[in-house]
Structure 1
Amino acid sequence: MVDVVSIIIAVVSLVGSLVAAGFTGWISFYIDQVKRRAESKALVHKYRDPLLLAAMDLQSRIYGLVQGGLLQFHDDEERRDLVFVYTAFLVGQYFSWTWILRRQAQFLRFSTEKQNRELSRMLESITDEFSTNDRSGEFPFMLWRGQQMAIGEMMTERDGDEWHCIGYSAFVKKYHTDDDFHRWFILIEKGLQALVVAREQHDSVAGFRLRRLQHRLIDLITLLDADGTGEGRDRRDKVDAAEKCKCIKCPAKPVPKSAAVSINKQKSEVNSDEMASSTV
């Protein structure tokens, strides 16, 4: 009888220990999850504004390139750098802030919340849009993932424990004096040259990638600034759609593979002076 009681007491004690251990483990897991969610929220909050501004600057520049009058200044000696070099800077600035965000997030479970998962998905869609090559002739501005990462890393500098994108004046100096730095932006220069040629030939295909990118950037901006109170809240219109665009609420009517550029050209020439002062 004593042996039976001892066995029962031992079993009860074992079950109690297992339950306590399981409860302690669950509590530890829950606390760890809460902590990581808080870290992810703090991370997004910290880099939301610079990423928002970088996306806003880049989408605005793309708008000027494919649906504004910026390209008419490509052979203007005084403004050429503001078309070519500043465009390269804006692309690099966006890659810099996404590189910083991903670097800081690599040790966090960044996709634990729905909004963070959506942010990761949108950043990935923009990366894909830059790197996609479907052999349809849309080669301008194609940058492989490694090239995007390299540009982002080269555009970033560290100040103590903080990372940030280099300024435009520092970029211009390196762009014109550092051949190793400059070579990463040659494809962007070639993309702009291709747009100039396409504009002269009234062919809009070369701009399809940029149109889709501008749409994706607008989607990203809308997510980052859901209440619409951030910078440039009145400058978030999507350009005319391009084929194969999968953005949110894409404009229904796509730009045809030829023509349409002449219409944009007429629009831009009417407001060329205004475009020059507002977007260059």
Structure 2
Amino acid sequence: MDAGIIAALITSVASVVVSVGASVWTRRQGVELERMRFESERSARDHEKRSAAKAELDRYREPLLLAVVDLGARLHTIRERGLQGYLGSTQRRGRLAVLGTVYCVARYLGTLEILYSRLALLRFDSATDTRLVAALLADIGRAFSSQLYDEDPPSGAQEGGPPAGASSLRKAERAGEPRFMLWREEQRAIGELMRGPDGTGTVCVGFACFHDSYDELFASWLDPFAEALRSPSAPDSERLARLQTLLALLVTQLDEDGGYSLTVDGTTVAPEWATPAALAP
């Protein structure tokens, strides 16, 4: 074969190889550029979500902090048996003591409901401070709803267990419901009611409104909790102890300016209900 023809064939093949290689390289570069563009846009969206989550958390930090402080202080009063004295006084004072306590619970749940309605992004946010707050809020919700705390023994049960031959139905009828337990659905319902008649308010109803509408709106949700407050064993509640501990962690996380809490050498010394001594079993 003529040397010129061979050279031409080699040149042609080389040109095809180079063309194919260039095409593959171009496609790969295009895919890589597209991937980089996608990652950049996703990073920008994530940053925007984090900024929005942080801004909304900051906006509701103060009302949430107030609700946490009031609830933590009230739980401390219960556990230190300070509430028991009021329950044994006049009927009016006893009712106010109970309703004031369940109002603290309801206001916390209402403030949380408002926060979540404004900021579903909170649970997905990756900013450290916001993520810690979200984790503590979730833990508090679980502490309210868990059946692992304060399970009352079956009514009339003896130390050795139920009498032989007792039916399963009878045992179920005697089984006591754990004290101070609020399921997630109950937590959400109470939170919605605290947002006012239409359930869309951006602030919780005040105590006067709560007091006057309790029997009509709140009793079906909060009466078991209120009744548990009247029990002599209420101060020994494991659930309330756990909730107080989690609220103490939350208040120090929310209180960026130190207006409600004081920490010295890593130990919380104020408020009183959040100190190690107050949280001890």
- The question of a shared fold, defined as TM-score above 0.5 by the shorter chain, is answered with yes
- Per the alignment, residue 228 of structure 1 pairs with 258
Cα distance per residue 1:227-261 (max 9 Å; x no partner): 4223799424348889xxxxxxx53xx3xxxxxxx
Residue in structure 2 matching 1:39, options 42, 52, 55: 52
Query: Which letter maps to 1:165?
Result: C
Residue 44 of structure 2 aligns to a residue whose secondary structure is helix
Conservation of the 8 A alpha-carbon contact between 1:214 and 1:239: no
Cα distance per residue 1:197-240 (max 9 Å; x no partner): 337xxxx53x3322221121111101111442237994243488
- Per the alignment, residue 171 of structure 2 pairs with none
Residues 47-62 of structure 1 mapped to structure 2, 5 A cutoff: 47-62=60-75
Residue 46 of structure 1 aligns to a residue whose secondary structure is helix
- The alignment status of 1:165 with 2:198, answered yes or no, reads no
Residue in structure 2 matching 1:100, options 107, 111, 114: 114
Alpha-carbon distance change, 231 to 153 in structure 1, aligned in 2, over 3 angstroms:
farther
The number of residues matched between the two structures is 236
Alpha-carbon distance change, 51 to 6 in structure 1, aligned in 2, over 3 angstroms:
same
Residue 85 of structure 1 aligns to a residue whose secondary structure is helix
Query: Which letter maps to 2:233?
Result: A
Conservation of the 8 A alpha-carbon contact between 2:67 and 2:107: yes
- Per the alignment, residue 19 of structure 2 pairs with 6
Residue in structure 2 matching 1:208, options 238, 241, 248: 238
Cα distance, 1:184 vs structure 2: 1.1
Residues 56-75 of structure 1 mapped to structure 2, 5 A cutoff: 56-74=69-87, 75=89
Q: TM-score, normalised by structure 1?
A: 0.73
Residue in structure 2 matching 1:198, options 233, 245, 250: 233
Residue in structure 2 matching 1:132, options 129, 134, 146: 146
- Per the alignment, residue 276 of structure 1 pairs with none
- Per the alignment, residue 170 of structure 2 pairs with none
| Gaps in structure 1 of 5+ consecutive residues | 243-249, 255-280
| Gaps in structure 2 of 5+ consecutive residues | 1-11, 153-177, 263-268
Which has the higher Rg, Structure 1 or Structure 2? 2
Query: Which letter maps to 2:244?
Result: Q
Cα distance per residue 1:252-272 (max 9 Å; x no partner): xx3xxxxxxxxxxxxxxxxxx
Percent of aligned pairs with the same residue?
29
Cα distance per residue 1:99-129 (max 9 Å; x no partner): 2222333256633122222212211221122
The 1-side partners of 2:142 and 2:200 are apart by 30
- The alignment status of 1:85 with 2:122, answered yes or no, reads no
Alpha-carbon distance change, 239 to 141 in structure 1, aligned in 2, over 3 angstroms:
farther
The 1-side partners of 2:123 and 2:149 are apart by 36
- The alignment status of 1:148 with 2:205, answered yes or no, reads no
